Homo-oligomer: A and B are copies of this chain.
Amino acid sequence: MIIIMKHGATTAQIANVTARVEQTGCQAHLSEGSEHTIIGVVGNGRPIDREQIESMSGVDRTVPILRPFKLASREFHPDNTVVPINGIKVGGEQVIVMAGPCSVESREQVMETAKGVKAAGATMLRGGAFKPRTSPYSFQGLGEEGLRILADARKATHLPVVTEVMAPEQVAIVSTFADVLQIGARNMQNYALLHAVGESQRPVLLKRGMMSTIEELLMAAEYILSHGNNKVMLCERGIRTFEKYTRFTLDLSAVPVLKELSHLPVIIDPSHAAGKWELVTSLARAAIAAGADGLIVEVHPHPEEALSDGAQQLKIHKFAALMDSLRPVAAAVGRTL
């Protein structure tokens, strides 16, 4: 940490800060600039809280040197992590595609979708049984019955199942039926839930909060990793900005940034970001060209009757066309699909 004192900080203020630093077992290196005194903190003892120092008189601000995440960082884990899921490898040469409806609505809907996306080349089946909805009056999902339907669709198609878990007490039941536990964007900083999926040792698809920085996403991953569960896939799904035409703004810069900062696989969700199925093809191609390890795409046999997110779900034949158009893009960046 570096401490920048205010212009005109007194000798007593500087001495107080220095004493506070040394009290924790760290060393304080003073450097007098022409206008500001700088105090470098070299750590040996327990880390000092930046906020404590910033509350002291005469301190202008502090600058951290170390990144706040360690297990998630490439600095300390240079090789890519590959997450194995029933024989599929996420984070390797193959770009994986998770596809399926926003919500599980009926056995027929899920079976039709699962067979359709399998035929089109999807690698996994997605679908929501527990649904986080903005309105208490909206369809809240089929719950356990939905999980059973997903498990049956897996049996029929051999596609591993990805589904959301919304509360710590759901982790056990969801783990019984699903292969990957999804943490939704609104729960990215639900720490009780992060601990629970960390302990479960199951593969996790961790979605970036619509309001969360890349650093905060990696801190949320750190919570899961700190339980020894390193099967974490990071998912960018659009952040909130002032632009109103799209539902969210897909931050594709997050792909190269996450690849630089971390060793974990990166998945892109173009459906939630755009909020309009017409935009999904363009964004899915861009995601693969940017270097993403996978996509998660919403597909529904009849979007005009969907109980949630109808506007952003692709029909099955449009999904098949999307897959066809993605293969040359994957090849162009040295990947398979």
Contacts and interface: CB of A to CB of B under 8 A. Distances in A.
Interface stretch (A87-95, A146-154, A325-333): A325-333
A245 B273 contact: no
Interface stretch (A112-120, A121-129, A172-180, A213-221): A213-221
Interface in A227-263: 239-246, 249-253, 255-257, 260
Given A240-B211, A249-B239, A43 B52 contact: no
A252 B286 contact: yes
Given A253-B273, A286-B290, A51 B331 contact: no
A238 to B, nearest CB: 8
Interface of A: 2, 4, 7-8, 20, 29, 31, 33-36, 38, 40, 42-43, 49-56, 63, 65-66, 68-69, 75, 132-137, 166-169, 186-187, 189-193, 209-216, 219, 222-223, 226, 239-246, 249-253, 255-257, 260, 273-274, 276-279, 281-283, 285-291, 303-313, 325, 328-329, 331-333
- Give me the 4 closest cross-chain CB pairs, A-B, nearest first: A211-B211, A289-B289, A328-B332, A256-B282
B279 A285 contact: no
A256 B250 CA distance: 12
A281 B260 CA distance: 13
A282 B251 CA distance: 12
A136 B223 contact: yes
